[in-house]
Structure 1
C-alpha cells in the first residue's frame, strides 16, 4: 500500500477529463479508495491491467450528509452577485471623453492659483477694468504649468484662442459701457475654454466653449489632494513660508503707515496703488477669493486633463433622394430671386413710386422690413444646416447638386443681408443711432460673414468651418468693443444735429462715459443737459486705477476742464427730442426700437 501511494504521488497531476467534472467539483476524486489513474490512463494501480471503462461517476465518501449528484450538463452557470452588478454604473460621457487623471498638481500651479484667488479678492471688488487682465495673468500661467506637467504641447489653434481671449479682456480696460464689456468677458471665457480643450468639430466648438463647468468639482478635488500631499511631505517648509510671509506683511504695513503719515505725496501714492479693503465688504471679498480659486483650479485641471468633446459624434441624417431634397430648396431660391429683383427695381428708380403707392415715409418703409429680413437670414441658416444633414450622398453628381443649390441660396441670402443693412441705414438717417439699432445691425453683418464662410467651405472643404465661425464671432465682439458703440452713437447723433436735424437729449443722457468726447461738442445748454447725469455718476464713483477704464479717465479729464453748467430750467424746456430751436419732429413720436 505504501508503494502504491508513493507511486501515485510521484506522478504528475493533470486536469480531469470532462467525465470527471463532478468528482473534481465535489473533491472526492483524490480521497482514499480512489483507483482511477491520473490523466485517465484507464489502468488499475494494483494489477496494471486496463480497467473497464465506466461512464458513471464514482460515489463519494459518506463523510457527511447525503448530497445529491447533478450531472455537469444540468449544472447552472455561476451567477454573479446581483447587488454588486447593480452598484456598478456604466461609465459616463465625461469619463469616456476625459483622459486618465492628471499628475499631481505642481507647486508652480498651486502658487499661480493662489495668486489668482488673492488678486480676485483684492482687485475685482471695486469693479472691472485693467484688473481683469491682471487677474487673468496668473490663471493663464497656472494652466500653462499644469499642461506642461501633463505633457501637452502648445498648438497653433491653442495660441489663437488664448491670444483672442486676452485681447477681449482688454475691452474692460478701454470702455466704460457695460454692454460691450459683458459681451467681451463672456466671449473671453469661451475662447479660454476652447484654448484649454482644443476642440475642432461642431460639438467640440459648441460644448468646448462651456468646458470649464464640468471641471469645477474635479479641479477642486485635484487641488485639495495636491495641497494635502505637499503639506504632509514638507510641513517644515510650509511653516517657514507662512512665518516669512507673515513677517513681511507686518513690516510692510508698519513702515508703509509710517511713511504715509510722514509725507502727503507718499500717502496719496500708496492710497491710489493699494486696494481699499474694509471690514464691511469682507463677505464680498471672500466670495471673490473663492471664485478666483475655483476658476483657476478648473482652468488648470482642464489644461492637464481636457475633455475631448470632439469624441462626440453626430450621425448624419438619412440621405434623401435628389428630387425630394432639391425641389423645396429650388422653390425657396426662386422666391429669394423674386424678392431681390423687386428690391433692385426699388433701388434703381422705383423707390419714390413704391413710397407713393404705399403711403409710407422712407423711415417707416425701412423700419417695416428690417426685422423681417433679419429673421429671414436666421431661418435661411437653419434651412442650410438641415439641408446638409439630409443631403444626398451618392457620389460626385450629388455633391455637385448640393453645392449648386446651397451655394445659390447663400448668394441670394447675402443680397438679402445687404438689403436689410441698407434699410437700417435709412432708418438711422431718419431717427438716429441707438444701442439696439447698432446691435442688430452688427448681428446682421456677422450673419453675412457666416454666409461667406459657408460659401468658402463649400469650395475648399468644411474641416475648418466650426473654428472659422468661432473666430469670426470673437473678432466681431472685439471690433464691437474697440469702436466704442456708445461713442459712435453720440457722434452720429451730434452729426445729425449739426446737419439741422433733431436730437434726443433724454436718450443721450443715459449713455456711458464713452460718449463724453462726442457730447462735449454740443452747444450750451444742450451740452450740459446731455452730460449732467454722467458727471454726477463719475463724482459718486471714486474708483481706483485698476478698475478705471480709459473711457472713464478721459471723461473725467474733459469734465474737469469744462464742468457742466446749471441749466436745469433750460433742460426741462427742451423736451425729449428737440433741436434746441424749433421743438419736436412729428415722425419721432413712435419708435419701437
Structure 2
C-alpha cells in the first residue's frame, strides 16, 4: 500500500468516499471513548477528537484528490507551451481514468507541437544546402571566378530544381506528420548521384578549404533502385557532415558497393577527430552533433537516418582508426517503412534548427509543482501561503513541546512552576518561528507576556492565571500578525484556531519530508509493528493461559495507573495548539488589509452634529445632578431620593460603566461618519468630540467616586476592584482619544489600548488583589468592628498572610481553617501557596469548633 495514496487499489470513488467517512467516524469514536474512559474532561476530548478525525480525513482524501491537483498544475504548465508534464495514474477509480486520459491528451499535444516544430526545422535545414551552393555559384559568376558556361548553368539549374523539389516536399512532410510518407522509387545511377552531391559540396565551400573527394562505386552496384530525391538528401548530409569535420586539405572518401544479394552500402570516411564511441548513437538524434566545434545544427545525420529508415534500411557509425566512418545500409529492393507516431528522438528527425527555427521550450526535470490544495482554495487571498517550504523542524519542536506538557501538566492539580515552564517553552518555540520576531512591537509584547506568565508562579489565584493566559494569547497573536486596528486585533486572535485548518497543507508537506528521512520512519514503523504484535499475541496468550497471564500482569505496567491516556490527550492538545500558533508565526494572515466598512460620511453637518449635541447635553444635565448631590450632602440625597448616600452611589455604578463604554463607541462612529472636507468641518468635529471626552472623563470620576464610597460602606471585593480597574482603563482610553485629537494622529490608539490593558492586568497581579482586598476589609474591621468573614473565607491563599497578620488569632484561625498543603514536587511550587503555608504554620485547626456562631456574631 502506498502511504501517500492508501485508497488507490479501489476501483470506485464511491467506495473511497464511504471508506473515508467510515474511517473518520471510527477514529473519532475510538478517541472519544478512550478519553471518556480515562476521565479526560470534555473541553480537552472534543478538540483532540476533531483533530484526529480531520487528520484521518486529510490522509485519505489527499490521495483521492492529488490527481486532480496534479492535473490543475499540469494544465497551467501546458498553457505556457510545455507539454512534458504528466500526472500520476496509480489510482484505479474514475479519477485515475481521467488522469490516464489527461496523460494521453498531453502526449498527443506534445507530439503535435513537436511535429509542427520539426516541419519548420526540417524544411529550413534542407533549404540551406542548395541555397548556399547556389549563392556561392552566383557569387563566383558575378566576381568572374568562373565563366557562365553550360556546365555552371546546369549546376545552378540543378540546385534550382532541387529547391523546387524541396518546396514540393512540403506536402510530403505534412504526410509524414500524418503517419505516412510515400517514396518515388526508380532506377538511378549511384555514381552520378554521388558526383552531384560532390559538386554541391564543392559549391558550398569544400573547394575553398581544399577538401578532396575520393569516390569509388562498385560496378555491380552502379544502378540502384531508390527514391532519388531522398537518397540525394542522405548523400548531401553525409558529405556536409564529413566536410565540416575534416581538416583543411583533408580527404573525404565515398564508397558504394554491394554487401550481399539483398543489401548494398554507402560509406563515407573523413580525416576529422572522429566520433567517440559513447556518442555513436546520439549523432543520429535531433541536435545530436557530437562536437560543439564542428558547426551545423546536428540535424543532417538525423535526416539521413530518417530517409534510410523510410527505405527499410539503417545508418550507423563504425569504428575507425582515425576520423569518422559512417555507413548507410539500404535494401536492393526497398520495402518502405511506414512512419508512425515517434517513440524515440530519432524516429522522425524533423527537429528545429537552432539558427533558423523556433526552439522548443525548456523541459524542466523538476517535478510538477502541486496545485493549490482545497484548503488553500478555501482561504484564497484572505490568507495566502507565500513560498512556505516543508518545516519538519517545527513539527518535531511541537511534538517535543507536547511530550513536555504530557509529562508535567497531568497529575499536578496546582498551577505552579511546571505550568510556567511549559508556557515559556511554548512561547519560545512560537517566538523563534516568527518572521516578525525582530520587530519592536513583537519584542515589547513578548516581554509583557513573560511578565503576565510569571503570575502563574507569583500568585495562587486561578481566575488571575486564566485571565493572564487569555491576555497572553491576544498579545501573542497581535505580535505575530502585527495587528494595528481593533478589527485586525480581533481577526488576529481568531487566526489561532483557524490556523489548525489553514496549516494542514504545510503539515502534510512537512510530514512527507519527514517520511523521506532515512531513519525516523523506519524506526517508527518498527516500533508500531512491534508493539502491535506484542499486544495481539501477548493478549491472546494471556487470555488463554492463566500462568502466562499472571506473568504478563507482573511485567506489563498499567498505563491507566500513570494516566497514559490522559497524558496523551494533554500532549496532543498542547502540541497541536503550539503547532497552529507556529503556522501563524511563519505565515501571518494579512489582518491589517481588512478594513471596517462604515459607509460613506454624511454630507450635512446636522446629520451627525444634532445627535452628538443631544448626547453632550445629556452628559451636562447628569453632571449637574451629580454636583447637586455633592453640594447638597447626604441629607439632600435622602430627602430627594429616599436612599442613603451609600445606596445612592451603588445604584448607578453599572450604568455609568456602560455609559463610558458607549461614549467610546460614539466617538468612533462620529469620527467615521462626520465629513472632513473643510477646515471648519475638522475643527467642529474636534471640538465636539473633545467636549464629549472631557464630560465622559467627569463621568468616569463620578463612577470611581461612587464605587469608593460604596466599598467604604459595605467592604471591598475582588470583583469591585476589577470593575474599578476596568473603568479606570476606559478613562485612559478617553485620554488617548483626546491626545489623538490634539496631535491629529490616532492610528496608535488600538495598540496603545491593547498594551495598556495588558499592563493593567500585570499591575493588578503584582499588587496581589486578594491580599489587597483582605487588607482593606481588615482596615475597615479595625475602624468599625464590621467584617464580612464569609467573603474572606472564599479568598484564596494569596490573602492568607494579610488575614493572619491583621486579625486576632482566634478570628484568623476561623477564617483560615484549611491552610494549603505544600507538595514536595518542585514543579508545583508557587510563591502564593508557599507564603500562605508559612503564615498559617502556627494556626491550630482544632480550635475552630465554635467558629460558626462566633463568626455570625462578628459579621
**Are 1:393 and 2:393 matched, yes or no?**
no
Q: Does 1:140 align with 2:422?
A: no
Q: For the aligned residues, what is the CA RMSD?
A: 3.0
1:445 aligns with 2:728: yes
Determine if contact 2:390/2:510 at 8 Å carries over to the other structure: yes
213-222 or 325-334, larger mean C-alpha shift: 213-222
Q: Who is 2:401 aligned against?
A: 116
Residue ranges of structure 2 left out of the alignment (5+ in a row) = 1-160, 179-372, 528-558
Give 2:748's match in structure 1, choosing from 434, 453, 464: 464
Cα distance between partner residues in 2 of 1:408 and 1:199: 30
Change (3 A) 1:494 1:94: farther
Is the Cα–Cα contact under 8 Å of residues 445 and 476 in structure 2 kept in the other structure? yes
Question: What do residues 499-521 of structure 1 show as CA deviations (whole Å, max 9, x unaligned)?
Answer: 13311111111110011011102
Match of 1:64 in 2: none
The 8 Å contact of residues 415 and 460 in structure 2, kept in 1 or not, is answered as: no
Please state how far the C-alpha of 1:396 moved relative to its aligned partner.
Answer: 2.1
- Residue 404 (structure 1) aligned with residue 687 (structure 2): yes
Report if aligned partners of 2:398, 2:575 keep a CA contact under 8 Å in 1.
yes
CA distance in 2 between partners of 1:171 and 1:465 (Å): 27
Q: Deviations over 1:321-355 (max 9, x none)?
A: 11111011112112212221332343345443223
Corresponding residue of 2:418 = 131
| Distance of 1:88 and 1:233 partners within structure 2 | 27
CA offsets 1:361-420 (integer angstroms, 9 cap, x no match): 221111112122112112222222222231113232212111111111111001001101
Q: Which residue of 1 aligns with 2:565?
A: 283
Q: Are the structure 2 counterparts of residues 492 and 232 from structure 1 closer, same or farther at C-alpha, using a change threshold of 3 Å? A: same
In 2, Cα distance between equivalents of 1:546 and 1:278: 22
What is the Cα deviation at residue 304 of structure 1?
1.0
Q: Which of these residues, 560, 564, 576, is aligned with residue 294 of structure 1?
A: 576
Name the counterpart of 1:172.
Answer: 456
Structure 2 equivalent of residue 552 of structure 1: 833
Give 1:255's aligned residue.
Answer: none
Aligned counterpart for 2:518 among listed residues 212, 220, 234? 234
Q: 1:3/1:336 Cα in 2 relative to 1: closer, same or farther (>3 Å)?
A: closer
Q: 1:5 to 1:94 in 2, by over 3 A?
A: closer
The C-alpha deviation readout for 1:462-499, integer Å capped at 9, x for no partner, is 11111111111111111122222211111111111111
Instruction: Assess, with a 3 A threshold, how the Cα gap between structure 1 residues 102 and 3 changes in structure 2: closer, same or farther.
Output: closer
Aligned to 1:61: none
1:353 to 627, 633, 636: 636
CA deviation vs aligned residue, 1:98-135 (integer Å, no higher than 9, x gap): 3425222153x344323311221122221422323311
Q: How does 1:47-58 map to 2 (within 5 A)?
A: none
Trace 1:289-438 onto structure 2 (pairs within 5 A). 289-320=571-602, 321-438=604-721
* Mapped contact 1:143–1:299 kept (Cα < 8 A): yes
Indicate conservation of the 8 Å contact 1:333/1:409, yes or no: yes
Q: Does structure 1 residue 572 correspond to structure 2 residue 852? A: yes
**1:522 equivalent in structure 2:** 807
Residue aligned with 1:315, SS? coil
Structure 1 window deviating more from structure 2 (136-145 vs 187-196): it is: 136-145
* 1:513 alignment counterpart: 797
Report if the CA contact (8 A) 2:453-2:469 is conserved. Answer: yes
Tell me the secondary structure at the aligned position of residue 463 of structure 1.
coil
Which residues of 2 match residues 484-523 of structure 1 at below 5 A? 484-520=768-804, 521-523=806-808
Q: Where has structure 1 moved over 6 Å in runs of 4 or more? A: 1-5, 87-90
Counterpart in the other structure of 2:386: 100
Partner residue of 1:481?
765
Indicate the larger mover: 285-294 or 337-346.
Answer: 337-346
Q: Is the 8 A contact 1:130 1:170 kept in 2?
A: no
In structure 2, the partner of 1:73 is none
Question: What's the offset of the Cα at 1:163?
Answer: 1.6
Q: Distance in 2 between matches of 1:161 and 1:88?
A: 34
Mapped contact 1:374–1:420 kept (Cα < 8 A):
yes
Do the aligned residues in 2 keep the contact of 1:142 with 1:300 (CA within 8 Å)? yes
Q: Residues 171-224 of structure 1, C-alpha deviation per residue, up to 9 Å, x if partnerless? A: 111111111111101111111111211111232112112321111234465345
Which one has the largest radius of gyration?
Answer: 2
Cα offset for 1:293? Answer: 1.1
Q: 1:357 to 1:7 in 2, by over 3 A?
A: closer
Give me the whole-angstrom Cα distance separating, in 2, the residues matched to 1:444 and 1:484: 19
Alignment check: 8 A CA contact 1:219 1:300 kept: no
Q: Check whether the contact 1:190–1:210 (CA below 8 A) recurs between aligned residues.
A: no
Counterpart residue number, 2:98 = none
Assess, with a 3 A threshold, how the Cα gap between structure 1 residues 508 and 236 changes in structure 2: closer, same or farther: closer
Quote how far apart the aligned CAs of 1:89 are: 11
Q: Which moved more, 1:373-382 or 1:226-235?
A: 226-235
Mapped partners of 2:786, 2:564: distance in 1: 49
Higher strand proportion: 2
Change (3 A) 1:3 1:112: closer
* 1:281 Cα deviation after fit: 2.4
Distance in 2, matches of 1:414 and 1:560, equals 47
**What is the total number of aligned residue pairs between the two structures?**
463
Distance (Å, rounded) in 2 between the aligned partners of 1:383 and 1:173:
41
Q: Secondary structure at the match of 1:379?
A: helix
C-alpha displacement of 1:316:
3.5
**Structure 2 counterpart of 1:58:** none
**TM-fit CA distance, 1:424:** 0.4
| Pair 1:565–1:102, CA change in 2 (3 A) | same
Q: Secondary structure at the match of 1:503?
A: coil
Q: What is the rounded CA distance, in whole Å, between the counterparts of 2:752 and 2:384 in structure 1?
A: 25
**Aligned partner of residue 392 in structure 1, secondary structure:** coil
